[in-house]
Structure 1
Amino acid sequence: MRMRVKPRRSLFLRLLLVPALAVAAWAPAAAAVAQDNVIVLPGATSAEGIAAGPGGTFYAGDLFGGDIFRGDARRGTAERFIDAPDGRMAVGMVADHRHGLLFVAGGFTGQAYVYDLRSGVEVATYQLAAPDAGLINDAALGRDGVWFTNSGRAELYFVPIGHKGRLGPARTLTVTGPAADTSGEVNLNGIQVAGRTPIVAHTGLGRLYTVDPATGASTPIAGVDVPSPDGLVLSGDRLWVVNSTSQVSRFRLSHDLSGGVLEKTITSPLFDFPTTAALIDRHRLAVVNGHLGTIPPTSPTYEVIVVEP
C-alpha cells in the first residue's frame, strides 16, 4: 500500500470535519435502512469522489493519492485503474460517456484532470485556480461541457466539450447572490446541472442554489435545506443530497427548480462520513465512505456502499 504525504492534508481534514461536528446531533424526521453492498477500494488510503460509468461501472478516487479506481457494482469488485503522479488529489468527478472522458477535481492543487475512460491515459490538465487558492471540489456534466466548484471562492469553472470530444479553454464564472458567501470553512461544494442550470450545494450555509450560467446570479431552492450538504446526484426531477451526518436525502424538485420536497431519507449502519454518490444502473445508489470523522483518517479500508435509492 502506497502512502503519500499531501500538502495541507490536516487542514483539509479539519475543514471537512468542522461542518460535520456542527450538525452531528441533527436527526432526520424519517429514515429507511436499505439493503447494502460493500465494495472495497483495494489499497486506497482515502476516498471522496465517485462517477457512474456505463452499465454497472463506476469510478472512485483516492482523495489524497489522486489515484482512480474502476469498479463493477454488479460484481461487487474494484481495482486500481489510474496510478496518478505524486502531488495530485482526486476529489469530485464525473464521466462523459459520449466522449469517453473522466473529469476529476484536483482539490488544493487548483487543477482539474481529464482522463480517457477506456485506457486511463491523461488527456488534459487544467489550472483552474492558483494552488491553495481555495479547493476545486466537485464536477458535473452539462449539455456542452463540465462545471467545477471551488469551496474557497465564489467561483465556478466551465470546461467546454466540442465536436468529437474536443476540449476548449476553461472559463471562470463569478457567483453572486447568497451562494457567494465564503464565510464558512467549506462553501460551494457538490454540483449537478439541470438543463443548462448548475445546482450547487453550499456546505457552510446548509442550502442548495441554482446559478445562472450566464450571469452567475444565485437563487436558493426552497425546501431542500440539508445540514452540511456535500455531493449531489440528479436524475430527472429527483435530487439526492449526501451529507456527513451519515445519510442521503432524496428530494423531488419543481419543474422551475424553485423548490423541492423531501421524499426519502436513506441511512445505513455502514455509512461512515459519506461524501458523495453516483446513480448506478439507474436503480442503485453508490455512496463513498470517506471515513473523515477522525484526523487523520484511520480506516483500514475505504469503500463504496451500494444502497437502494
Structure 2
Amino acid sequence: MHFASPTRRHLLTATAALGATALLGGTAHAAAGPARHPWPEQFPLPDGWRPEGIAVGPGPYAYFGSLGHADLYRVHLPTGRGAVVRTGLDATHPTVGLKSDRYGRLFLAGGPSGELRTVDARTGQVERVVQVGGTFVNDVILTPGAAWFTDSFTDALYRLERGARGEPGEARTVRLGGDWVQGDDFTANGIERTPDGSALLVVNAFAGGGTLMRVDPRTGIARAVDLGGALLPNGDGLLLLGRTLYVVQQWQNAVDVFHLDAAGTRGSLVTRIEDPARFRIPTTAAAWGDRLYLPNARFDVDPPTPDTDYDVVAVRRM
C-alpha cells in the first residue's frame, strides 16, 4: 500500500451504523471486544518478514502478509505471540493489503502478481486465486456483497463478489473516471467505505498532491473529498470507525484523523497521531478494542535483508 519508495520499485523488478438500503451497507469494521491491559503495545514479526497490510479478527488475532513471499503470520494480540501460517504458494505470490471476514476467510491483494486471493485464515489453504491482470493490486476492503481492490498503476478497481457466507464469486473491473487522475508512479492506495455505505473512499497519491476520492461503485466516477485543504501525499492504509477516518501517512510516520460527513463528501482534520520513538514507516492500521495496530514496513531499509527486524505497534484510538 505504499508508493514512490525504492523498496516497492525493487519489488516490482524481481497490494455509524449503515442504513439497510445503503449500496455498500453494513457496519464499520472495528473488531468487537475489549483490549484488556496489559496487552503488549509492541511486538515483533519474524526478521526479514517485510509486512505491509494487517487484518484483525475473527477474535483477538492479527494477520500479516509479506512483500517477499506468500506465507502469513498470525499473532495473538493479548500476548503478542505468533506463528507462520503456510499457504503452499511460492514467492511469486506476495501479499500487500489483506482483510478478514467473520467466517475466517482472508482476502489478499497480490501486488505485482496481479492476483485477488482468498485463503482459510486458520490453515492457510488457498481457496481461490483470480488473475485480473493488474499491475499492482494494492489494498482491499470488504462490503456486504463484495471485496474491492485497488491497483496502484491502473485507473481501475476490482470487484470480487461475495456470497451469503462470504464465499468469493465472479470478479469484474470498474474503470475510474471523473476527478480521477492517474499518475506515472503509485497512484491508488488505501480503500474504505463512506460512513453511510453509499460509496467507496480511495487514496489518490498523485492528484492535487495527495487526495481522497469518493468513488461511485456502480460507475467508477470519482470526486475529490473536501478535506479542508489537508493533503495526503503519503496516504496509505485507510480505516473507518463510525465517521472517524484514520489515514496512515507512511513516510511522515503519522496517522491523520478526520471526521467525515455521512456521505463521505467532506471531512475535517481532527488530529495527527505521531510516535517518533516507535513509528518506523507504518503503512496501515486495524482496530481491536480501544487500540489501533500498525505494522512498521521500514521502507527506508533498501534493500531489506533476511536479518532486517520488523515489528507492530499499538496506539490508542481517538
TM-score, structure 1 normalization: 0.84
CA contact 2:104–2:122 (8 Å) conserved in 1:
yes
Alignment of 1:37-116 (within 5 A): 37-86=41-90, 87-97=92-102, 99-116=103-120
After TM superposition, give the deviation of residue 117 of structure 1 in Å: 2.2
CA contact 2:58–2:104 (8 Å) conserved in 1:
no
After TM superposition, give the deviation of residue 196 of structure 1 in Å: 4.1
Deviation per CA, 1:281-309, whole angstroms, max 9, x where unpaired? Answer: 3x110001000013213562111111112
CA contact 2:40–2:78 (8 Å) conserved in 1:
no
- CA distance in 2 between counterparts of 1:163 and 1:261 reads 36
Task: Give the superposed CA RMSD.
Answer: 2.1
Alignment of 1:205-224 (within 5 A): 205=207, 206-223=210-227, 224=230
Aligned CA distance change for structure 1 residues 217 and 301 (closer, same or farther; 3 Å) = same
Question: What residue is the counterpart of 1:141 in the other structure?
Answer: 142
- CA distance in 2 between counterparts of 1:10 and 1:226 reads 19
Aligned CA distance change for structure 1 residues 178 and 294 (closer, same or farther; 3 Å) = farther
The letter for the 1-side match of 2:303 is P
Q: Select the residue among 285, 297, 306 that pairs with 1:290.
A: 297
The letter for the 2-side match of 1:56 is P
- CA distance in 2 between counterparts of 1:287 and 1:82 reads 22
Question: What residue is the counterpart of 2:186 in the other structure?
Answer: 186
- CA distance in 1 between counterparts of 2:184 and 2:81 reads 37
- CA distance in 2 between counterparts of 1:153 and 1:135 reads 8
Deviation per CA, 1:145-173, whole angstroms, max 9, x where unpaired? Answer: 10000000010001111123332110110
Alignment of 1:9-20 (within 5 A): 12-13=8-9
- CA distance in 1 between counterparts of 2:95 and 2:299 reads 15
After TM superposition, give the deviation of residue 43 of structure 1 in Å: 4.2
The letter for the 2-side match of 1:199 is L
CA contact 2:157–2:174 (8 Å) conserved in 1:
yes
- Determine if the alignment matches structure 1 residue 257 to structure 2 residue 264: yes
- CA distance in 1 between counterparts of 2:11 and 2:123 reads 34
- Determine if the alignment matches structure 1 residue 230 to structure 2 residue 236: yes
Question: What residue is the counterpart of 1:203 in the other structure?
Answer: 205
The letter for the 1-side match of 2:98 is M
Question: What residue is the counterpart of 1:278 in the other structure?
Answer: 286
After TM superposition, give the deviation of residue 261 of structure 1 in Å: 1.3
- CA distance in 2 between counterparts of 1:91 and 1:275 reads 10
Alignment of 1:143-162 (within 5 A): 143-162=144-163
- CA distance in 1 between counterparts of 2:269 and 2:136 reads 29
- CA distance in 2 between counterparts of 1:36 and 1:72 reads 10
The letter for the 2-side match of 1:247 is A
Q: Secondary structure at the residue paired with 1:168?
A: strand
CA contact 1:57–1:280 (8 Å) conserved in 2:
no
Aligned-pair identity in percent equals: 32
After TM superposition, give the deviation of residue 83 of structure 1 in Å: 4.1
* More divergent stretch after superposition (35-44 vs 222-231): 35-44
- CA distance in 2 between counterparts of 1:54 and 1:264 reads 29
- CA distance in 2 between counterparts of 1:160 and 1:14 reads 32
After TM superposition, give the deviation of residue 56 of structure 1 in Å: 2.0
Q: Secondary structure at the residue paired with 2:185?
A: coil
After TM superposition, give the deviation of residue 91 of structure 1 in Å: 0.1
* More divergent stretch after superposition (105-114 vs 191-200): 191-200
Aligned CA distance change for structure 1 residues 270 and 84 (closer, same or farther; 3 Å) = farther
**Across the two proteins, how many residue pairs are aligned to each other?**
277
TM-score, structure 2 normalization: 0.82
Unaligned 5+ segments in structure 2 are 13-38
Q: Select the residue among 128, 134, 153 that pairs with 1:124.
A: 128
- CA distance in 2 between counterparts of 1:248 and 1:203 reads 15
* More divergent stretch after superposition (263-272 vs 162-171): 162-171
- CA distance in 1 between counterparts of 2:106 and 2:124 reads 9
- Determine if the alignment matches structure 1 residue 241 to structure 2 residue 247: yes
- CA distance in 1 between counterparts of 2:288 and 2:48 reads 21
After TM superposition, give the deviation of residue 104 of structure 1 in Å: 0.6
Aligned CA distance change for structure 1 residues 37 and 187 (closer, same or farther; 3 Å) = same
After TM superposition, give the deviation of residue 214 of structure 1 in Å: 0.5
- CA distance in 1 between counterparts of 2:225 and 2:40 reads 31
Unaligned 5+ segments in structure 1 are 1-8, 17-34
- CA distance in 1 between counterparts of 2:129 and 2:232 reads 33
